[in-house]
Amino acid sequence: MQAGFVTIDVHGRTRAQAKVAVEAALRRCSPSVYRLRVIHGFNRGTGLRDMLHAEYGGDARVKRILPGANPGITELVLREL
């Protein structure tokens, strides 16, 4: 685990299952965590990525949403460094 990052893997899950996993991860994040890295995959479409943008784009806990190192990853920025 990289300091300041929490990574969860939700690819292969439904949107509802992925949202439950992201919500649980957000609740568990300590104040030292500044990014939640969500691995959602992309080979089967963009449904999970789109859900992250729709659900967390206006969420007060998320400062901004960034693309990850590849198209199958999205990072939720929880606080700035």
Which residues are bridge partners to 73 per DSSP? 39
Burial of 7-39, coded b for 16+ CB within 10 Å and e otherwise, reads: ebebeeeeeeebbeebeebbeebeeebbbbbbe
Higher pLDDT, 9 or 43: 9
Residue carrying structure tokens 């700035």: 80
Question: Taking residues 24-38, what's their average pLDDT?
Answer: 94
Residue 2's pLDDT band (cuts 50, 70, 90): low
For the stretch 4-29, pLDDT in tens is 999 999 999 999 999 999 999 999 99
